[in-house]
Amino acid sequence: MWGFSDIRHGSDQEEIHGRLVCEYDSDLSMRTVSTPSPALILLPRSSPGVLNGSSTSSSTFGMETIAMVHTPPTSLTHPQRSLRQPRDQQGAPIDILPDHAFLQIFTHLPTNQLCRCARVCRRWYNLAWDPHLWRTIRLTGDVLHVDRALRVLTRRLCQDTPNVCLTLETVVVSGCQRLTDRGLYTVAQCSPELRRLEVAGCYNVSNEAVFEVVSRCPNLEHLDVSGCSKVTCISLTRDVSFKLSPLHGQQISIRYLDMTDCFALEDEGLHTIAAHCTQLTHLYLRRCVRLTDEGLRFLVIYCPSVRELSVSDCRFISDFGLREIAKLEGRLRYLSIAHCGRITDVGVRYIAKYCKRLRYLNARGCEGLTDHGIEHLAKNCLKLKSLDIGKCPLVSDAGLEQLALNSFNLKRLSLKSCESITGRGLQVVAANCFDLQLLNVQDCDVPLEALRFVKRHCKRCIIEHTNPAFF
């Protein structure tokens, strides 16, 4: 039996334990309130600005995604009540998982979902902010207040190393139309180890912010500014250029650069890019309509290691430009000159003669290309695997025969809207290119028997066609 003293002693212990739990929890909340944690959530206009008992530091907007600042969640809000709960109601089954299992799960979550997980409980908060999970920040959405989100996230990631995010290597904010220079300044100031930055479609970004990122992030290798119409150049800031020697100033480590749809890019800007980014291996200049052959001359002089190059829809590029590109010789693997109307067989002959290791060529819409150009290409580029000569009305069965007799490694061939192609040319291709995996003959006047012949000889080939009788 329990004596009066035993009961009194037991109740005193319970009261002391409850007081200690309350003091511990309140003390921990006080210690963490100065280091807020962000969560990216979608709130309607009528939602209040209080989450989990913690007031937020920013107002809400109608259906707008914003960065909310809150304190770490408290697992014991009412200690006395939690002590009285049955044992089978005190924890969820998922709590049985070890920490390393949670971390493995969290690695597959996007940034906004990871921030939501940090608000579940104190254990999840500590796990969600593990430095190994924050090598990448990936934000999407045209309603996201991305400048504020980046500021809050980088501030939290700089908690252990003030003003520096040593773990952050990749930032992807493509399609975030509300991104401005202010957001990129935040990334540049806090991420010295940044290696990959994608801001595709962020049309409010300007040259100054890009210069800041390139100057402060010496390890940056991958830069995607496609669709950023205000970006006309890639260079170092003036202050950094003055501090560095001319030789060292050229050593920007960018290897991959996508400037598709940067309509304002001109030859002078490409000259500056080439002079500073001498290690470029992948360069995409699709629809940079102001570029001419002179810009390509600068590119080849300063960037001899280019392996992939696209100048599709650059209407001022001609055979003289291809003559400059041919100076890349065996290093060039990928070339896209689609819809460059000034290119003829002469330019393609330069490429075929000097770029013998070419694997991919997109010449769609080059109406000056004929069977003679295809013949030179087939006889010299024996490793060619993918060829697109759609909408080239002067290419006929004779060109396909030369291609079939020499390009045995061909896997993808597009002949879309080639008016001069018949079934005879397709049969020759199918009889010699056994590894063909994709054939596009849409809008081509080819008989049903030719399509069936291709299907019998190239069993793994996917045929894209517009013949309703073939299936």
- 193 pLDDT higher than 50: yes
> Rounded to whole angstroms, how far apart are CA atoms 187 and 199?
12
Q: Lowest mean pLDDT of 106-110, 367-371, 452-456, name the range.
A: 106-110
pLDDT score for 28: 35
Of 448, 455, 414, 409, nearest to 432 by C-alpha is 409
> Rounded to whole angstroms, how far apart are CA atoms 124 and 34?
19
Q: 403 or 3: which carries more pLDDT confidence?
A: 403
Sign of CA pseudo-dihedral 442, 448, 454, 459 = positive
- 46 pLDDT higher than 90: no
> Rounded to whole angstroms, how far apart are CA atoms 47 and 55?
12
- 251 pLDDT higher than 80: no
pLDDT tens, 63-94?
344 444 455 655 444 444 444 455 545 567 88
Place of tokens 């669709």: 227
Q: Lowest mean pLDDT of 184-193, 238-247, 285-294, 427-436, name the range.
A: 238-247
pLDDT tens, 135-190?
999 988 777 899 999 998 988 888 877 778 888 999 999 999 899 999 999 999 99
pLDDT score for 160: 75
pLDDT tens, 427-457?
999 999 999 999 999 999 899 999 999 999 9
Amino acid at 1: M
| Phi and psi based region of residue 163 (left: phi greater than 0; alpha: psi -120 to 50; beta: remaining) | left
What is the three-class DSSP state of 440?
A: strand
Contact (CB, 8 A) for 21 and 76: yes
Contact (CB, 8 A) for 247 and 221: no
pLDDT score for 97: 86
CB-side neighbour CA atoms (13 Å) of 276:
24
Going from the C-alpha of 448 to that of each of 254, 395, 462, the distances in angstroms are: 50, 21, 15
pLDDT score for 120: 87
Count helices and strands (H / E) in the chain: 18, 17
Q: Lowest mean pLDDT of 31-35, 98-102, 335-339, name the range.
A: 31-35
What is the three-class DSSP state of 224?
A: strand
Q: How confident is the model at residue 14 (pLDDT cuts 50, 70, 90)?
A: very low
What is the three-class DSSP state of 65?
A: strand
Q: What domains are there in the chain, each with its CATH number?
A: 318-470 (3.80.10.10)
First-residue to last-residue Cα distance in the chain: 88
Of 329, 305, 185, nearest to 256 by C-alpha is 305
pLDDT score for 312: 97
Q: How confident is the model at residue 464 (pLDDT cuts 50, 70, 90)?
A: very high
Q: Dig out the tokens for 418 from the structure.
A: 């080639």
DSSP H or E run through 309: strand 308-310
Q: Lowest mean pLDDT of 47-56, 150-159, 349-358, name the range.
A: 47-56
Amino acid at 316: F
* Phi and psi torsions of 17, nearest 5°: -65, -45
pLDDT tens, 375-399?
999 999 999 999 999 999 999 999 9
For the chain, state the CA radius of gyration: 31
pLDDT tens, 208-237?
999 999 999 999 999 999 999 999 999 887
Of 81, 33, 77, 86, nearest to 55 by C-alpha is 33
> Rounded to whole angstroms, how far apart are CA atoms 19 and 11?
12
Q: What is the DSSP letter of 394?
A: T
Contact (CB, 8 A) for 371 and 392: no
> Rounded to whole angstroms, how far apart are CA atoms 178 and 147?
8
pLDDT score for 92: 74
Residues 189-206, mean pLDDT to the nearest whole number? 93
CB-side neighbour CA atoms (13 Å) of 22:
10
Contact (CB, 8 A) for 300 and 278: no
Distance of CA 328 to the CA centre of its chain: 26
Place of tokens 């080239």: 392
